[in-house]
Structure 1
Amino acid sequence: MVSIKDIAKKAGVSISTVSCALNGSPKVTKETTAKILAIAKELNYIPNAAARTLKKRETKIIGAFLTDYSGSFFGPLLQGIREMLNQKGYDLIVCSGTQSHRFIPERMIDGAIILDATFSSEEILGYADRGHKLVVLDREVIHPNIRQVLLDNKAGAELAIQYLADKGFTSIVFHTGPESSYDSNQRLQSAKEIAERLQINYIELQGEFNKLSGELAAQQLVQNYSQPVAVFCLNDEMAIGMYNYLAKTNYRVGEHFHIVGFDNIEISHYLQPRLTTIDYSKQKWGALASEVLMKLIANESVENEQIHVTLLEGQSVKKI
C-alpha cells in the first residue's frame, strides 16, 4: 500500500510537507500542493483513516446503536438522524449487537445515539466517564457527557386509557412489550396508574413488540371472549398482529375488539378500520437526538429533551 513516505520520496519533499499538503494546509505553496496531489493520484494513494483519526481525534462519523432493524419503526428515525448529521458534516453508521459496542471505546466514532437494550446503563456510564459523548433514547441516566431524548410515554399511555374509558370501557387488556424495554415499562406503569385512578380493571398479556405476539394475544382473547374487549397494545406491531388474527375469525375490530396502538407506523395506515394509535414524529425524534449530540460534542450547553405525543383516532368505537 502506498504511504505518504512514498509520495514524499517521489516529490523530493519531507513527509510533513506531504501531510500538510494532503490536508489542505496553507503552509505549503499552491505549486507544491498541486505537485503532491498529482503524485498521490498517480500512485493511487488512499489515506489511512485510522492514522488520521488519531491525529485529529475525530472521525466525523456518528454511531446509531439499535436493538434490531426489524419492522417499519426504525426507517423514519434513522432518516431524521442521518439528515441532521449530514447538515453538520457528519456521516452515520448503524450498529447492532454487542460486538459493535467497541466502536465507542476504540474511538471509531465521535459519539453515539443509543436505542439498544444490549447496553447496560453501567456500560454507558463507563464510556461517559472516559469522555465519550452519548445520547440515549431508551433510558434515564445522569452524566455530564450524556443527554436523554425520550418519548413522553406517560402522556401517551394516559391518552390511550382515557380514550377507552371515555368510550365506556371499565376493563382494559394491556398487551405489553419485552420486560427489558424502557418504553414498554414506562407505558405500562403509566397505564396502570391512570386505570387505577379511573377505577378501571386491567389484565396484562406479555408480548415482544412484534406481530406474532399480537396474533397469539388475540387468539387467547378470542378463546375467552364474552363481551366487547378493549386492548391497549404498547406498540403498533402487536396491534397489527391482532388485526391479522381477527381477520381470520368472525370477530371484528371496532365491534368486538377495540384496539389502541402506540407509534403510528406507516403500515398501520392501511388497516381497516384504521388503527387508533399514539402518534409522534419518529423523524423529528432522530433529528433532535442528532442535534443534541452535536451540541454535546461541541461542548455547548444543551438540556435533555422529550418528544411530544398525540392520540390519532382511527376505528369508530361505539360507547359501551
Structure 2
Amino acid sequence: MVSIKDIAKQAGVSISTVSYALNNSPKVTLETKTRILAVAKELNYVPNAAARQLKKQESLIIGAFLTDFSGAFYGDLLQGMKEVVNRKGYDLIVCSGKQSHRLLPERMIDGAIILDSAFSDEELLEYADRGHRLVVLDRELRHDNINQVLLDNKAGANLAMDYLIENGHRKLYIVCGPPDSYDSRQRLTAVRQTLDRHPEVEAVFLEGDFNKASGEAAGKKILSELSGEPPGVFCLNDEMAIGLFQTVQDHGKGIGVDLSLVGFDNIDLTRYLSPRLATIEYSKHRWGAMASQQLLQMISGEQVEHERIYVSLVEGESVRPRGAES
C-alpha cells in the first residue's frame, strides 16, 4: 500500500509537507500542493482512514444500530438521520447484530443512535462512561453522554384504545409486540391503564412479534371466536395490522364490518388498504432527524435536552361504530 512516505520520496519533499498538502493546509504553496497531489494520484494513493482517525480522534461517521431491517418501518427514519448528518459532513452507517457493537469501543464511529434491543442498558452505560456519545430511541437511560429521543408510545396507545371504546366496542383484542421491545412495552402499559379506566370493557391479549405473520395468526384466532357484536382490535404496530387485515378479508369477512381495527405507525403501505386503516401517526423522518441533530450537538460539546416525538390519531373506515349499519 502506498504511504505518504512514498509520495514524499517521489516528490522530493518532506513527509510533513506531503501531510500539509493532502490536508489542504495553507502552509504549502499552491504549486507544491499541485505537484504533490499529482504524485499521489499517479501512485494511486488512498488515505489511511484509521491513521487519520488516530490523529484527529474523529471518523466523521455516525452509526445507527437497529434490531433488524425487516418491514416497511425504517426507510423514513433512516432518511431523516442521513440528511442531517450529511449536511454536517458526516456519513451514516447502519448496523445490526452483536458483532457490530465493537465499532463503538474501537472508535470507528464518532457516536451512535440506538434502536437495537441487542444492546443491554449496562453495555450502553459502560460505553457512555468511556466517553462515547449516544442517542437512544428505545429506552430511558440517565447519563451525561446519553440523550433520549423517544416516541410518545403511551399517548398513541391511549388514542387508539379510546377511539375503539368511544365507537362503542366493549370487547377488544390487543395484538401485542415482542416483550423485549421498549415501544411494545410502553404501548401495552398504556393499554392496561385505559382498561383500568373502563372496567366494562373485556380485553383479550394475543401474542405478536411486530411482523406480518404474527398479525395473520392473530387474525385466524379472532375469526375463530367471532360472535355477536363486532369486536375492536388494536394491533400494536401496522405490520401486524396489515397481516390481520388481509387474513380477515381472505376469509370472506369485512374490516369495519365484522370487526374494527386500529394499527400504530401509519406506514406507507396502509394507504393502499381499503377500507382505510385507522392508525397512530407520527413523523418517522423527524424522529430520525432529531436523533442525528442531538447526537451531533453532543459530539460538538453542546448541551441538549431529551426530546419526545408526538403522535396523533388517523381515523379510518376500518373502525365500525357499534350498532352502525353494515
Q: TM-score, normalised by structure 1?
A: 0.98
* Counterpart in the other structure of 2:225: 224
2:169–2:321 Cα contact (<8 Å) kept: no
Distance across 2 between alignment mates of 1:87 and 1:260 = 37
| 1:207 pairs with 2:208 | yes
Distance across 1 between alignment mates of 2:271 and 2:140 = 31
* Counterpart in the other structure of 1:30: 30
- Amino acid paired to 2:55: K
- Amino acid paired to 1:212: A
* Residues 209-239 of structure 1, C-alpha deviations (whole Å, 9 max, x = no match): 0110001011011111113111110000000
- List structure 1 runs of 4+ shifted beyond 6 angstroms: none
Distance across 2 between alignment mates of 1:87 and 1:127 = 26
2:3–2:45 Cα contact (<8 Å) kept: yes
Distance across 1 between alignment mates of 2:149 and 2:198 = 30
* Counterpart in the other structure of 1:81: 81
- Amino acid paired to 1:290: S
Distance across 2 between alignment mates of 1:253 and 1:284 = 31
- Amino acid paired to 1:201: E
2:250 match: secondary structure? coil
* Counterpart in the other structure of 1:71: 71
- Amino acid paired to 1:244: Q
* Counterpart in the other structure of 1:172: 172
* Counterpart in the other structure of 1:273: 275
- Amino acid paired to 1:270: Y
| 1:157 pairs with 2:157 | yes
1:131 match: secondary structure? coil
* Counterpart in the other structure of 1:250: 252
Match of 1:259 among 261, 264, 268: 261
2:153–2:186 Cα contact (<8 Å) kept: yes
Distance across 2 between alignment mates of 1:22 and 1:78 = 32
Match of 2:307 among 305, 311, 318: 305
Structure 2 spans left out of the alignment, 5+ residues: none
2:170–2:231 Cα contact (<8 Å) kept: no
- Amino acid paired to 1:101: H
Most deviating of 29-38 and 128-137: 29-38
Distance across 1 between alignment mates of 2:22 and 2:126 = 36
- Amino acid paired to 2:118: T
Aligned residues: 320
Distance across 1 between alignment mates of 2:290 and 2:320 = 35
- Amino acid paired to 1:319: R
Structure 1 spans left out of the alignment, 5+ residues: none
* Counterpart in the other structure of 2:286: 284
* Residues 107-135 of structure 1, C-alpha deviations (whole Å, 9 max, x = no match): 11111001011111111111101000000
Distance across 2 between alignment mates of 1:246 and 1:176 = 18
Distance across 2 between alignment mates of 1:20 and 1:250 = 73
Distance across 1 between alignment mates of 2:29 and 2:216 = 70
* Counterpart in the other structure of 1:319: 322
Distance across 2 between alignment mates of 1:132 and 1:51 = 20
* Residues 231-253 of structure 1, C-alpha deviations (whole Å, 9 max, x = no match): 11000000000011111113211
1:32 Cα offset (Å): 1.4
Most deviating of 208-217 and 241-250: 241-250
1:77 Cα offset (Å): 0.4
RMSD: 0.9
* Residues 16-55 of structure 1, C-alpha deviations (whole Å, 9 max, x = no match): 1111111111112222111111111111111111100111
2:266–2:281 Cα contact (<8 Å) kept: yes
What is the aligned-residue identity percentage?
60
Q: How does 1:61-210 map to 2 (within 5 A)?
A: 61-199=61-199, 200-210=201-211
| 1:39 pairs with 2:42 | no
